[in-house]
């Protein structure tokens, strides 16, 4: 498989090039000149992905990454169905976040500091994206094959309708972006490790939790579709069905300590019960505090709207403790919840 990646950068890129190359990516650095010249150079190359610095101001062209990306995402002679990754110095990212016209261009955005701190994570994410683009093209947008499920009946029809529209347009980027944002990175049909631990009542840091996840029953519930190599997710409908074979009690209505006791008896483990966050009153955990990433009963939570979520996704919450200890979070909670926070114990 072609893993050639073009890295458009106007500064010294040798360190990033070396680190990514050491992790199995073939990086070719291009220093931008004029826009047309750079575009012509790219069109003459065969590559699987593009990495771009945000501010490309040292070259004579003086353009930025969204200018190139918008050209590539537009159907025409320059159209490229490849992953595009934006990297930049921390101070430049607010300019990008304020430009809503640029945010539908890139598969993900990362600061250079974050990249340097975890080259393994982000090189793996790039590989996963390349594989996903190739898979969508190979199986011709077959959702069952791409999500590795026999039936799509448990997936919201509105989500499937959006995917079908991208299929009609043969828009691989739009298809993958929707799967990434609306399925993998949302709480809904799929759940991540922290939410899974919360719904099972388990302290995710206890040693036996990983043993549970590696058991045959839980491996069967794991998501194995596109992008699964960079995100660990589980189908909740399958987790719920598994629970019903273990206990006649409702998972949602069973306190955390009793959930863990049932699981320990079934799997012969020593799982530890997750603790409640300060100011919480219930151990009927079902989600997590978006700030502390710890188990939370939505009854104890405050709706948190840092980003928009789809109608078929579950809302995000923060705990009352997080709202009290982290005042900057209050900008994203509802006025009614904010009133309760401000007047807490008054």
The per-residue pLDDT for range 9-28, each reduced to its tens digit, is: 888 889 999 999 999 999 99
Q: Which residue has the tokens 């998972």?
A: 251
pLDDT of residue 103: 57
End-to-end CA, the chain:
63
Question: Which tokens in the block code for residue 128?
Answer: 């996963």
* pLDDT one-digit tens code per residue, 183-242: 999 999 999 999 999 999 999 999 999 999 999 999 999 999 999 999 999 999 999 999
Helix (H) or strand (E) segment spanning residue 272: none
pLDDT in tens, 99-147: 444 457 899 889 889 999 999 999 999 999 999 999 999 999 999 999 9
- Tell me the pLDDT tens digit for each residue of 29-65: 988 777 788 788 888 888 999 998 876 655 544 567 7
- d(C-alpha 290, C-alpha 167), whole Å: 33
CA 53 centroid distance within chain: 21
Q: Identify the three-state secondary structure at position 309.
A: coil
Q: Is the pLDDT of residue 94 over 60?
A: no
- Gap between the Cα atoms of 221 and 345, Å rounded: 43
Report the C-alpha gap between 218 and 202 in whole angstroms: 14
Q: For residue 133, what pLDDT is reported?
A: 96
Does the pLDDT value for residue 75 go beyond 90? no
Cβ neighbours for 134, distance < 8 A, ≥ 6 positions apart: 1
pLDDT digits (tens, 9 = 90+) for 310-332: 888 999 999 999 999 999 999 99
Under 8 Å between Cβ of 311 and 339: no
Share of the chain above pLDDT 70, in %: 91
Q: If pLDDT is split at 50, 70 and 90, which confidence band does 255 have?
A: very high
Residue 141, sorted as left (phi over 0), alpha (psi -120 to 50) or beta, turns out to be left
Say if residue 96's pLDDT is above 80.
no
The pLDDT of residue 140 is 96
Residue 98 has pLDDT above 70, yes or no: no
Specify the domain boundaries for CATH 3.40.50.2300 within the chain. 4-128
How far apart CA 321 and CA 184 sit, in angstroms, is: 27
Tell which wins on pLDDT, 114 or 95.
114
Please state at what angle helix 236-246 crosses helix 193-200, rounded to 10 degrees.
20
Question: Which pLDDT belongs to residue 101?
Answer: 44
Four-point Cα dihedral 208, 222, 129, 305, nearest 10: -80
pLDDT at 148 over 90: yes
- The answer, yes or no, to whether residue 253 has pLDDT greater than 90, is yes
* Distance between CA atoms of residues 227 and 133, nearest Å: 10
Who has greater pLDDT, 266 or 334? 266
Which pLDDT score is estimated for 279? 94
The stretch 152-171 carries a mean pLDDT of 92
Question: Which tokens in the block code for residue 108?
Answer: 């993900």
- Give the whole-angstrom CA distance, residue 164 versus residue 146: 13
Q: Residue 133, exposed/middle/buried by CB under 10 A (0-12, 13-18, 19+)? A: buried
Helices 35-43 and 65-73, axial angle in degrees (round to 10): 50
User: What is the DSSP track for 9-69?
Assistant: -SS--HHHHHHHHTTT-EEEEE---SHHHHHHHHHTS--SEEEEESEE-SSTT-EEHHHHH
CATH architecture of 4-128: 3-Layer(aba) Sandwich (3.40)
pLDDT of residue 199: 98
Alpha helix segments (H runs only) across the chain: 14-21, 35-43, 65-73, 93-98, 112-117, 119-139, 143-147, 157-168, 172-179, 193-200, 207-213, 216-219, 236-246, 256-267, 320-325, 335-342
């Amino acid at each position: 498989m072609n893993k050639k990646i073009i890295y458009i950068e106007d500064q010294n890129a040798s360190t990033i090039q070396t680190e990514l190359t050491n992790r199995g990516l073939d990086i070719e650095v291009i220093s931008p000149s004029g826009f047309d010249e750079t575009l012509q150079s790219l069109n003459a190359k065969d590559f699987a992905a593009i990495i771009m610095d945000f501010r490309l101001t040292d070259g004579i062209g003086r353009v930025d990454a969204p200018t190139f990306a918008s050209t590539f995402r537009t159907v025409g002679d320059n159209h490229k169905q490849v992953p595009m990754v934006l990297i930049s110095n921390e101070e430049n990212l607010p300019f990008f976040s304020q430009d809503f016209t640029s945010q539908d261009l890139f598969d993900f955005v990362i600061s250079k500091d974050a990249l340097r701190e975890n080259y393994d994570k982000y090189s793996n994410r790039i590989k996963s994206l390349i594989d996903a683009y190739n898979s969508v093209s190979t199986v011709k947008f077959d959702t069952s094959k791409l999500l590795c499920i026999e039936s799509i009946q448990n997936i919201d029809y509105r989500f499937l309708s959006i995917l079908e529209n991208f299929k009609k347009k043969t828009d691989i980027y739009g298809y993958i972006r929707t799967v990434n944002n609306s399925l993998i990175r949302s709480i809904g049909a799929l759940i991540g490790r922290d939410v899974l631990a919360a719904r099972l009542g388990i302290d995710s840091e206890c040693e036996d939790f990983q043993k549970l996840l590696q058991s045959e029953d839980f491996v069967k519930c794991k998501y194995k579709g596109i992008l699964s190599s960079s995100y660990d997710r589980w189908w909740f409908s399958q987790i719920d069905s598994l629970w019903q074979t273990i206990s006649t009690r409702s998972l949602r209505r069973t306190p955390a300590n009793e959930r863990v006791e049932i699981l320990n008896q079934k799997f012969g483990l020593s799982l530890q019960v997750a603790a409640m966050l300060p100011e919480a009153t219930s151990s009927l955990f079902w989600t997590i505090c978006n700030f502390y990433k710890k188990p939370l009963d939505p009854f104890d939570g405050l709706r948190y709207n840092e980003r928009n979520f789809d109608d078929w996704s579950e809302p995000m919450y923060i705990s009352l403790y997080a709202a009290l200890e982290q005042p900057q979070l209050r900008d994203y909670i509802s006025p009614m919840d904010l009133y309760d926070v401000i007047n807490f114990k008054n």
